[in-house]
Amino acid sequence: MNQDCVFCKISSGEIPAEKICENANFFSIPDANPKADGHSLVISKKHFETILDLPASMGQEFLDCIKKTSAKLMSDKNASGFNLISNNFEPAGQVVHHLHFHVIPRKDGDGFKIVC
């Protein structure tokens, strides 16, 4: 655990959060500053800074949490799609240096733009 990391504090329960999905090593929560309705984060419980630090042995469990979160958000928000985004390292836009993926539910004509 990183003492100064907001996601480590959420993981440990020091900061309360509404969990959408949770398993042994990952959980998801609504984003504090959503870019679209339902924008949520899938976060590792252990402190890994980027996807490159995640052990391959945890990959299936991570993907399972991402899939369950995405399916629940699509259902709850009546979405017809979703974006999955991960910013790794500052030049790519990573602000919180703790592994997390953004899940953004999408609807036709919602006006949200992703630039790739």
Distance of CA 72 to the CA centre of its chain: 13
Rounded to the nearest 5°, which phi and psi values hold at 69? Answer: -65, -45
Average pLDDT in the chain? 96
Q: Dump pLDDT digits (tens) for 52-91.
A: 999 999 999 999 999 999 999 999 999 999 999 999 999 9
pLDDT in the model for residue 115: 76
Looking at 3.65.10.10, 3.20.190.10, 3.40.50.300, 3.30.428.10, the CATH number of the domain 6-106 comes to 3.30.428.10
Bigger pLDDT: 116 vs 74: 74
Least confident range from 1-5, 24-28, 39-43: namely 1-5
pLDDT in the model for residue 116: 74
**Residue of 47, 97, 98, 100 marked catalytic:** 100
- 47 included as an active-site residue: no
Determine the Cα–Cα distance for residues 35 and 4; give it in Å rounded to an integer.
25
